[in-house]
Structure formats: C-alpha cells, structure tokens
Amino acid sequence: MEQRIYLFGLNHKTADIEIREKFALNGFNPINDGLIDKDSPVDEALVLSTCNRVEILYVSEKNFDEVEPKVLGGWSGYCRHDPELLRKHTYCYKGLEAVNHLFSVAASLDSMVLGEPQILGQLKDAYRKSVEEKTAGVIINRLLHKSFSAAKRTRTETAVSSSAVSISYAAVELAKKIFGELNDQKAMLIGAGAMAELAALHLINSGLKEIMVANRTPERARELADRFNGQSMCMEKMLDNLHKADIVISSTGSSTTIISAAQVKKILKKRKHQPMFFIDIAVPRDIDPDVNLLDNVYIYDIDDLKEVVEENLASRKEEADRAREIIKEEVIKFSDWLRSLDLSPTIVDLLSRGETMARKELRKSIRSLGPDADEATCRAMEQLAMSLVGKLYHDPIVFLKRRAREEGSSQKFIELARRIFNLDDEPMHQDTHQNRKERK
C-alpha cells in the first residue's frame, strides 16, 4: 500500500494580502476540523499558516482526485469562503515535488525576502503543533526533520542567509565591522524618526551599552530614551555630548546640515581619535559628507545603506541557486528512504545486513582455527552462520508480512524495524545520551 505526499498552499506570489487573510488557518486542527480521520492509520497532516503563506502538507493513501476536494473543501469551509476562490490561488504539489517545495520553504528559498530566517522557526512551531495534535506520523516526522537539516545545510554551505537585507540591520552589521562587539559602545539618536528607532532597537539587541536621544521636542526625546533606558537631551545640548557617542544615528527634518566636518574634527580630538560611525538617514542630509575624509570616522547615508542592501540581495540570489542544488540532493536522499518503506526492500536489507555480519564473524572464526582447518569444518561453520541469520530474521519478517496483509499498512512497523536493526546506518546524534541524562 503506497502512501502519497501532497502539498496545497498559497503564498505571497500567488495571492495578495486580502486573499491570504481570508484563508489563514490559524487554530485549524486537522482532526477536529475533519481533515483527517483519527482512526485512519495512514493519514497525516501539517498546517503552516504565516502572514506570507498558508500551506497544508497532507499524507494519504488516496488518489489526488479524492484528496484535492477534501483538503480544499475543508480549508475553505474552515475559513467560510468560496472554495473556487481558494482553488484559483493555490498551488498543489505531489510526491517529490511536494518534498522539494517543503525543503525550499524551510531553507527560505521561497520567502519574500530570500534567506530570511523566521520561516524555519514558524515551520518548527507548525511541526510541534502537529505532533501535539497527533497528526504527524512516520512520514511527516521524517520529512520535517529532513527539511530542518536541509535548511541547516543550505545555511552553512551557502551564503544565502548571511548578509543584511534591511537598512537598519545593514547599519548594525557595519557597526560591528568597525567596533566588534558593541558591548562598550554608546550611540546617540538625533531626531526620533521611525527608522532611527528601528536601527536603535537593532543596536540594543546586538548588545549596545547605552543610548542617548537628542530631539527638538524634549518630551519625545524623553519618551524614546525611557523606552531604551537611556538619557535624553534637547537639541542644544547635542554637540556638547556628541563626543561620548561612538555611533550616531541622525534623522532630523532639518533643511541644512546640523553637524559639520570641522565640528567632528574637534570632537574627534576630544575623544582621542576613537572611531565614530555616523548613520545619516535624514533627507536632506544632517551630517556634512566631508566627515568621511577624516581618519577613524565612517559615514553612511540612506543611499549608501540602500546600495549595501541591494547588493546583498543580489548576492543572495546567486547563492540561492547553489542552495537549490543542495535541496535537490536532499530530496533524492529522502526519496530513497521513502522507497525503502516498502516491504520487499526492507526484507532484502535485513537479510543482506545479517549476511554481511555473519560473513565478517565467520572470517574471524576461521582465522582463529589456524591454517590447518580442513575444508569440511569451514563449510559446516558457514552453513551454521547462514542458517542462523535466516532463523533469526525469520520471525521479524513474518511479523512485518502479516501486518502488511492484515492492517493494509505496515509502514509504522517497517520504519521501526529499520531503526531497530539500523538498516539506514543513521549516525547517532551527539546529544542523544545527553538528553537521556537530563531527563533523569
């Protein structure tokens, strides 16, 4: 009895936000909402619902013609919207295509921002939910674990998630390149725009020591400084305190520059030439671009940062092609495993593994008999070893065959047998025993 993998979904490419909102599946429970039958030994389902995609991974023995109306019907029914509308915006993948799609999603190759890391966490949450709700079985367990490791592989072997693709994060990355860890650094926000606030938040999350806020309206400065546990000041005091700041984020609405190169030069002397990083996200610019000519001073304006982000995005696209190759390899590995879930390959694997072991032991025993051992003894020993293998594996094989006949599906047991007899040569996880200890 063969099990089939289906994947139905819509994402930011196939449906815009109104549609995605209509068909979000938050709180959907595949058992309670009738998608899968609790008593069915084979049906499995996993539901992933985020702001950019809604997907249902479905494993069943039924044909596509049976599955599609059931899944899409259940889905649109839960959302109380027209199934035809849903059908128009969904894609469906079958078999290995579905596996490939799931791996790509996990590796964030299908995301709106290529390589963004959140999707993997969301997928992990979805998987945890499916385990809790007992809708994940043999196939989904394996499939999801493999998708996590495929994602990890793409992340370590390619640079698809490595460089910053948002302006505020690009600024933080540059700051780290200049100062290293930001634990000893202070920053000053001049003006309190939304983007400056975001950059400040990123800096704080990266370990920044302290933040100062200077603003035209002291109340707003106070408010922002309180949020970051920092110090606030009015605009007039800004220049007097500027020498304390290693990182300066400026975003005022001023029509002229508010900090000149000559001023920075003086401040630099006061700081004993410790480096300063100016992030000027105001248009028109707040800081004289000539400060870039000073040693130990770095300045990036909004266009510079945008350029960094665009270049990073372009390089991510190149890396994505390499990542897709990795995904392809992982899909092939998974399909090998899927095929082994059939009964006959498992029996062959079981017997050949036993035979390999027996031959190895046989060789050792014959060697210990010495060179004088006569042919007849050797032959008798070989017979003994081989028949022992046959006898030992006879009962498990009979058991598997009977389950297959009686229950229609022996996959659960085949998978178990493969693990008990270690037929897939799975390496033991390093933390396997650690966990056991912790649990005690």
Partner 1 sequence: MLSFRILDFFIALLYFAGALSFLLGLIYSSKKTQDRSVIITATGFGLHSLDLVLKYSLGIGEILTQSQFYISLLAWSFLLIYFFLWWRLKLKFLSITAAPLALLVFTGSLAISPTTLPVPGPLQGLWFGLHIGSLFISMALLAMAFGAGVTYIYLNKKIKTKVRLGNVSKEIPSLQSFDRVNHLAVIIGFPLYTVGVLSGFIWAAFTWKTIFTWDPKEVITVIIWFVFAWLFHRRVSGSWRGKKPAQMIILIFFLTLASFVGINFFTETHHSLRP
User: Which residues ranging from 341 to 370 are in contact with partner 1 (CB under 8 A)?
Assistant: none
Tell me the residue type at 320. Answer: A
Q: Which is nearer to partner 1, 163 or 252 (CB)?
A: 163
* Residue 8 · residue 72 · CB < 8 Å: yes
Query: Contacting partner 1 (CB under 8 A), which of 166, 254, 263, 315?
Result: 315
**DSSP-assigned beta bridge partners for residue 214:** 190, 233
Query: Contacting partner 1 (CB under 8 A), which of 197, 288, 304, 330?
Result: 304
Q: Which is nearer to partner 1, 42 or 187 (CB)?
A: 187
Q: Which is nearer to partner 1, 103 or 300 (CB)?
A: 300
298 counts as binding partner 1 under rule CB under 8 A? yes
What does each C-alpha distance from 230 to 46, 203, 223, 246 come to in angstroms?
45, 13, 10, 15
Q: 10 Å Cβ neighbour count for 341?
A: 20
* Residue 19 · residue 10 · CB < 8 Å: yes
Helix (H, G, I), strand (E, B) or coil at 60: strand
User: Which residues ranging from 173 to 212 are in contact with partner 1 (CB under 8 A)?
Assistant: 174, 176-180
162 counts as binding partner 1 under rule CB under 8 A? yes
**DSSP-assigned beta bridge partners for residue 9:** 55, 91
37 counts as binding partner 1 under rule CB under 8 A? no
Tell me the residue type at 203. Answer: L
Nearest to 117 by CA among 106, 125, 128, 127: 106
- Burial of 220: CB neighbours in 10 Å, binned 0-12, 13-18, 19+: middle
Q: Which window, 3-11, 203-211, 256-264, 304-312, contacts partner 1 (CB under 8 A)?
A: 304-312
**DSSP-assigned beta bridge partners for residue 234:** 215
298 CB-side CA count, 13 A: 17
Query: Contacting partner 1 (CB under 8 A), which of 273, 402, 405, 433?
Result: 273
- The residues that are catalytic are 51
Q: Rounded to the nearest whole angstrom, what is the least distance from the CB of residue 280 to partner 1 in the complex?
A: 13
Q: Which is nearer to partner 1, 265 or 412 (CB)?
A: 265
Per-residue binder mask for partner 1 (CB under 8 A), 217-256, x = binder: ----------------------------------------
Q: Rounded to the nearest whole angstrom, what is the least distance from the CB of residue 179 to partner 1 in the complex?
A: 5
Chain positions contacting partner 1, by CB under 8 A: 159, 162-163, 174, 176-180, 269, 272-275, 292, 295-296, 298, 300, 304, 307-308, 311-312, 315
